[in-house]
Structure 1
Amino acid sequence: MEQPLASNEITSNRIAKELNEWKAREQRFEKLFSPDILKDKAFLKEKLGFYEHLQNKYSRSNVPEEKMTLIILARQNDLLRKQVYPNLWMRLLQRVLAPFREKQAERQTTISSDRNLSDLKEAVAKAGFETDGSKLAQHIKQGQREFSLPLSYYISENQKMDINLSFAKDASGAYRFEKYQAALTDTNKPQESKKQIFASDDQISASQAQNLLSGRAIKIETFDINAGSKSKWIQLDFNDQDPSGNHKLKEFHKDYGFDLQKAVSQLGVKENLTAKDQQVLLDALSRGEKPQVTIMREGKEVNLSIEANPQYKTLNVYDEHQKKISIAQALSGPEKPALKITEPTPQVIEQKSKRNGQKVR
């Protein structure tokens, strides 16, 4: 049986790449059924149609290696056509009908490609990324088995996010958004860059990935076919990695006992915020953000930043210099603190995202 083409041939010859994929497909069918399946007339018709499609698809190629491949492919087509259609008149009829079949196939391919492109753009946007549709379309047209698109944007003056979106063909031949690698780098300490690969099925958005890489915990919803929807907190463990280099996850389920609202109430939020503002704050903390709040102490405003700490069932509190302090230190003073949210609000978050300019390089 013919072996798949060598990898160096594939990279320089697009036709060879597609032929290699067909050979791999033949091998899979041979294992599933028997070697005789490759001689089945229905299978041979499918193979002939594929070969004819390749001939038409690359007929205008000026690449010497591909032009030579087309000459050999034409000869293979003639032999295969005689095998599928032994009758001369039937072969002539098939030659006449071939251009019409090819046009129909091209229309169907265009429709499928457009639908696939739309699905990919939607999946990437849902994850919180902006992509160049023309680059996605170009990769789909090239027909690679898999490809990636890089993104890069700043989230602050010294912090940069580098993203690599990965796409791959599924069993049907359509592309799907498979995963992305996110890397958070402090330009002042590039050697301390943190990175992680997230599968698209994990449904971790761009902002959530950023917060996880910043060391914060996020609250996510999961679905169990028996128990239904369940929530849990997750956080990257920077002291433990799997063999692929991904940081392992620390998980804190409902039974663990972390009550975010109770932790926030220790800062007097319940008494000093409206129900709506309190929910805005809880949502921000659940997303892994580090909102800034202002308390009144001894008649003066004191700015603090807070973040959820599910592992220790509390909040991490930082002063105006971003020095970590205890809740007791934050609350010290003769007057009872009156707390209000100063950031973020949904509008601020949205504007910040736009300023970051998440673009494809």
Structure 2
Amino acid sequence: MNENNLEYLKKTLDGLGFGAKLNEVLENAIRREMPSFSLGITTLQKPLENPDRNAAKTEHLSFKFNFNRSKDSDMYFLNNYNVALHQKGNPIVREQTFDLERDYRVTALQAYKLLSGLSFEKEVYLRSRMEEGRAPDRPQEKTPLWFKLSLDVTDAYGNHPLRTFRPEYGFDLVETLGKYPLKGLDTPEKLKETITTLQNGNYYHGEMVIGKKTVPVAIASNPQIKKLNVYDKNMIEIRDEVIFPEKDRTKAADNKQSSAQDRATSQAAQPEQPWIQEPERETSNKRGR
């Protein structure tokens, strides 16, 4: 058995957030020199939207790790792992297989957040080793990427497409936060705390002015549409038209004006239609002399 290889695999599992729970069964499988094998682990988590640290753990997660032995040596590789999320009250089981290299080593907690519909930011080394304008001997720099799963669709392999958004995509979390009437972000420390919370793929629980009332809300980042998802205390979404009614009225007025202008332009540009006859004029019958 390749001891160095075993230690590397143990460190990989630990780095993904699984600790040493699988070390014994991993070592036993490698000692048996199996060409391929899978190991599993299950855990319970409290719902991510619940801020109470003592809340009941009702989210059931199961992980399966797929190992393969090299054809040319005694080394084993962990290529990917599958995770399934069973949520209380939700009959649909959400599943995803994460490829370690392709998906930038998404951890267990990050996988849970993605399957729960959340997004997070993570600094990674892009797979392209050569960047335009970078000298070959210059160390590659990490790039911050936002990650999000498209949970409403699955691909040919049964996976939800994993979307990543680079800085040039244009999602600016600080700028986006400034657009919403959140309360309590008036100090640099509180703003930084909120930004870190959202970047890590967590809900931020605070207060927002909606109409003339201050209401408790939970917010999460949505980099794909460059906005925040806002929920009330019952985790029912509060849509932007409720938060920004004046913007919605302005948009409706603009649409109405645009439609009126389009109709006027269409009528002005309408060509004559020779097949439409003028209405007959009413004439009076006069008796001839």
With the shorter chain as reference, the TM-score category is 0.5 to 0.7
Distance 1:152 1:293 in 2: 32
Counterpart CA distance in 2 for 1:316 and 1:298 is 18
Question: 1:123 maps to what in 2?
Answer: 12
- How has the CA–CA distance of structure 1 residues 155 and 301 changed in structure 2, closer, same or farther, with 3 Å as cutoff? farther
CA contact (8 A) 1:158 1:188 kept: no
Task: Write out per-residue CA displacement over residues 311-350 of structure 1, whole angstroms, 9 at most, x where no aligned residue.
Answer: 2211000011111103564589xxxxxxxxxxxxxxxxxx
Counterpart in the other structure of 1:225:
129
What is the alpha-carbon distance in structure 1 between the residues aligned to residue 210 and residue 149 of structure 2?
35
CA distance 1:259–1:169, change in 2 (3 Å)? same
1:132 aligns with 2:45: no
Counting only pairs closer than 5 Å after superposition, residues 236-275 of structure 1 correspond to structure 2 as 236-267=149-180, 272-275=185-188
Secondary structure at the aligned position of 1:302 is classed as strand
* Distance 1:269-1:122 versus aligned 2 partners, 3 A rule: farther
Gaps of 5+ in 2: 47-56, 132-140, 246-289
- 1:216/1:297 Cα in 2 relative to 1: closer, same or farther (>3 Å)? closer
Question: What is the correspondence of 1:179-190 to structure 2 with a 5 Å cutoff?
Answer: 179-190=80-91
One-letter amino acid of the counterpart of residue 90, structure 2: K
| Aligned CA distance change for structure 1 residues 122 and 322 (closer, same or farther; 3 Å) | same
Q: Given the alignment of the two structures, is residue 150 of structure 1 paired with residue 54 of structure 2, yes or no?
A: no
Query: Counterpart of 2:60 in structure 1: which amino acid?
Result: K
Q: Can you list the C-alpha shifts for 1:205-237, whole angstroms capped at 9, x where unaligned?
A: 111111111122222334242334333323212
Q: For 1:119 and 1:249, how far apart are their aligned partners in 2?
A: 27
In 1: Cα distance, 2:10 partner to 2:183 partner = 41
> Compared with structure 1, are the counterparts of its residues 180 and 331 closer, same or farther at alpha carbon in structure 2 (3 Å cutoff)?
same
**2:108 & 2:66 partners in 1: Cα distance?**
14
1:316 paired to 2:229: yes
Q: 1:296 and 1:258 mapped to 2: Cα distance?
A: 23
Q: Which amino acid aligns with 1:143?
A: E
What amino acid is aligned across from residue 196 of structure 1 in structure 2? Q
Q: TM-score, normalised by structure 1?
A: 0.55
Q: CA deviation at 1:275?
A: 2.6
Partners of 1:295 and 1:184 in 2: CA distance: 31
> Retained in 1: the 8 A contact 2:210–2:243?
no
- Amino acid corresponding to residue 181 of structure 1 in structure 2: N
* Cα deviations by residue, 1:167-210 (Å, 9 ceiling, x for unpaired): 222343212222110111113223x1111000122210111111
Partner of 1:208: 110
CA deviation map 1:287-318 (0-9, x unaligned): 32222224588998732111111122110000
Tell me the residue number matched to 2:281. none
- 1:176 paired with 2:89, answer no
Share of identical aligned residues, percent? 27
Q: What secondary structure sits across from 2:73 in the alignment?
A: coil
- After TM superposition, the structure 1 = structure 2 runs for residues 340-351 of structure 1, keeping only pairs within 5 Å, are none
Count of residues paired in the alignment: 220
Q: Distance in 1 between matches of 2:26 and 2:75?
A: 13
What code does the residue aligned with 1:164 have? K
The reply on whether 1:163 has 2:63 as its aligned counterpart is: yes
In the TM superposition, what are the counterparts of 1:66-85 in structure 2 within 5 Å? none
| Equivalence for 1:54 | none
Alignment match, 2:94: 194
Letter aligned with residue 155 of structure 1 = Q
Using a 3 Å threshold, how does the CA distance of structure 1 residues 169 and 317 change in structure 2: closer, same or farther? same
The answer on whether the counterparts of 1:240 and 1:248 sit within 8 Å (CA) in structure 2 is: yes
Q: Aligned partners of 2:64, 2:166: CA distance in 1, in Å?
A: 30
Q: TM-score, normalised to structure 2's length?
A: 0.67
Secondary structure of the equivalent of 2:12?
helix
Indicate conservation of the 8 Å contact 1:124/1:177, yes or no: no
- Whether the aligned pair in 1 keeps the contact of 2:149 and 2:160 (CA below 8 Å) is yes
Q: Contact 2:146 / 2:165 at 8 angstroms: preserved in 1? A: yes
The verdict on how the C-alpha distance between 1:298 and 1:239 changes in structure 2, with shifts beyond 3 A counting, is closer
224-233 or 243-252, which moves further after superposition? 224-233
